Structure formats: structure tokens, C-alpha cells
Structure 1
Amino acid sequence: MSGGDGAQPRVDCVVDTDGRITFGLPMGSTEGHQLLLRLRPKKGQPEKVRHVLDLELADDGRRRAVLGPDAVLAEGRWDVYLLREPGSQRQRVRPGLRDLRALVDGHLHDRRSPLAVRIPYVTKDGCLAVRAWLRPAHAEVDGIDVTDRSMTVGARLHGASLGEGAVVCLRLRGGSGTLRVLEPRAGDDGRSFSFTVDYEELDAGTGAGSGVWDVFVQPAAAAPLIRVARLLDDVADRKEVFVYPAVTHGGAVLRPYYTVDNDLSVTVTKAG
């Protein structure tokens, strides 16, 4: 629950190319000594994780707090609150200026491991929050080309490189363990790759019912699976923004899509 009376304060945020976020209160503002970032718990679960940032008076009279580029935020959604003094009742804040220009071409820069991504965004109720991802390695989608028979995906690894025995795995969701294994086409840099998913094979592998296939890359034999996703830009929630065409094959409709975590999956919907 948020506390405090009156209008919710507005907080600006600027993100630089290193992932550092600078939060700022309006010039001359005297309200607030700390910002509280709270990891939003799953439904029915108690709140457990918080991160506090001190607001310091800058030379221009604004109060600022800095979230450094280090991997300090667990993966999830972090709601932002204002603390007028340490230990006081917290107050939810609304977004002011959000300067995310440094994130737009983030996929063009190599990232170290672990990969820490943070995108400030506006919640459905108009408040400020930060979407965070924290992964040992990552495969960033560059583009998806959909035809009436297949889809071809281009991607690039961050925090890992392609080695001998590298494969792309599509895993049928639901605990059945069903896999479709593809050989990626590797680029000269050892990190870029592409692969093509045949819709007829995916339809047959789904069986009689509908299903969802999650997409991974295994960069070398026996290496951990890495989720294929699109994280490195300024879009916090792309599921309803990047919508790819559905293709009808036999009695099934197939469509690639991004999940609520911006991971790449393919849905297969059977008639009836």
C-alpha cells in the first residue's frame, strides 16, 4: 500500500548507455530523502525484497538518486516510492520526464555477464516502475521473418559465444519434455546466428492439442540453455506492441510472440 496525502510527486529518470538510472525530483523540491524500489511480489505472496536509494542535493537545486549499473536488482518489476524521511510511510510516485534514448540501440552493444537490464516504465495505473532482467547470458532477437511455411529468426549472444555442438531448442511448455532441435547458422563473429522453424514440423510435434513452444539456444554441447528474447531497447512490455502474423497450417494456427517477460515463444492453436 502507498502512503501519504495529496498529489503524488513526480520523479524524472534518465538512463545512460551503461544502464545507470538517475532519478530526479523537481528543482527546489524539499520533499523526500530516499527512494524505495520494491520488487513486486507474485499474487498472494508477501513483499520481501526492497532497495533504497538516497536522494542527494545536486548543484542545480534538484534532489537526485542514482541506481548504478551493477546487477543489484533481481529480475522482475520494481515499484518506485518516495520516503520523506528514513523509516517514514512510503508514497507512490508518478513519472516525470523519462529519457530512455540511450536504450534505443542497446542491442548494438556487447553486454558482459551477468546481463543486467533495467527499463523505467509507466504502470497501468500511471505510476513509475522499473522492469529488470538479470541473466547469466542472453540471446537477443534481431528480427523475425514470417512466411506461410516457416519463421526465420536472427539473434546475437551476449555473455556467451557459439561453440561446437551449438543447437537451438524449442521446448513444448507443460512439463512433457518435448523438444525440437535445430542447427543454427552461425555468423563470422561467433555470436550472431539465425535459425528457421518449419511450421509443419512444429504442428506435428504439438500433437492433438494446442501448445506453446519456448525458444532457447544451447551455445555449446552440454552448456546451459539460454532463453531467446528481446530485452535490449526501451520497450518494457512488447507482447502487445510487437505482434507477428498468424499462419494457418492444416487445422492449426501458428504465431510467434513475445511473452510477458519479453521472451520469444511460438503458440500452436488447434481447431476445436
Structure 2
Amino acid sequence: MSERLGGRTALITGSTSNIGRAIAEAFAAEGAHVVVSGRNRERGERVAGGIRAAGGWADFVEADLDGGAEASRNLADRAREVLGGRIDILVNNAGVYPAPGTADTDEKTFDVVYGVNVKAPFFLTAAVAPVMAEAGGGTIINLGSWIARLAVPLGALYSSTKGAMETLTRAWSAEFGPRGVRVNAISPGVIQPPSPAGDAPNASELMMKGTPAGTVGTPDAIAHAAVWLASDEAAFVHGTVVDVDGGRTTVAVVAA
């Protein structure tokens, strides 16, 4: 275990599985005390327990971030209590991904997706960033998505929320950066475990054919980028979106 984040505290939303879990595990492996947060207590306790078993420092705080300002404020307060009174790093990772077509999207679905993906991190940041600034600084990392810039046919609702988070990254950097709080984002590409050997490629893997990487990424790839952004190595990085997508959005895809 190294100490790139030694002595720091971190709250990672939506960290009971997938990318959020990988970030929580990577932060803890670098010496941070992490709060694993999500709706499913069983999964959350399992993740926190696994981190502790590996020698890290982790606690689970249950939270259903539906977009209500009070839910976000409550999570910030409980996380600070567990973390000894301060949050040094906030990762806004929690999100939902229903993908109906525009004409098939009802108002309830729209409100749920924007509530979880935009309102919840907005009000959580509002509850965390000013306190970070008063304490001398901190780091906020938002999760965007490659489909915020490279559209897919059924992604209008979800991709617009991720576009909002990338815009908020720049706006919050301007607002809080001068007060010592660095704000950046990661834009993941197609992230999932590869198909077992011998199986036909799935749809996600086919989307990565012809890219520089040539295959899907894993949650660990996003976690490594998050560790860098949270560490002092990225002290001069403000208001940027780091693409971790195997070249999907920046390099022309070559047909196989």
C-alpha cells in the first residue's frame, strides 16, 4: 500500500459496485479513509469490509440520492461525521442510465434521471465545496461520459445529464478553484469486463473495434485516473475533463 492519498478523507457516491467501487478501493489502497456510499446496504458493507480486510480504511454510509437537496446535505453531514469532521475528496459518481428514445421518455423518467445525475451532485457539491474551502482546500471529481460528445441514437436523456456535469465541472472550477478546491471530471468510455475467451464480442466490445485501444476498458482504468486527479501530482489541473475512453472520442475509428 502506497500513500499518495495518505491522511486524506474521501466520499465516493455510488461506490457499491462497478466504477465507484474501483475508485473507493483504489483510494483506500493509496492511504485514504473512504466512505463507500449507495442505496444497497448489503453491497456497501461488503465493499467496505473488503477494503478493511485488505488493510485499508473504509466505512459505509447508506444514501439514496434522488435529487432532493436534503438527501445530499444529509449524506455530506453523515460522511463528515464518519470521516472525523472533514471531506478532502468528493467523487460524484452515482448515476442512472435508462435509455428510451426521446419520444418515449415520460416526465417521471426525465425527472428521475436528472434528479440522480445532476441535482443530487449539484446539491452535494453545494454542501461540501464551501466547507472544503473554509478548511483550506480539497478536490472534487465528477463523472462525465463519452456519449456527452459522441452521440448514440438512444442516449439523449442520459448524455444531456453528463454534458451538464462536464459544464458544472468548469463552472465549479471557476467558482471554487480560487478558494483552494480543485474541480475536474473523468469521461469514461465503454467500461465493462471483456467477454470470456471464446465468446462472441458483445455490443459494447463491437463499439470499440477500430479504436486505438481496440477493446473495452475496465473500472480500474477509471480508478487510476481518479487517484491521479485526487493526488498532489495533479495540483495544477483545474476545470478539465480527462478522457479515459481508449481513444473513442478523439481518434477516427477505422473500420475493421
TM-score, normalising length from structure 2?
A: 0.27
Greater Rg, structure 1 or structure 2?
1
Identify the structure with the greater helix proportion.
2
* Larger relative contact order (Cα-Cα within 8 Å, sequence gap ≥ 6): 2
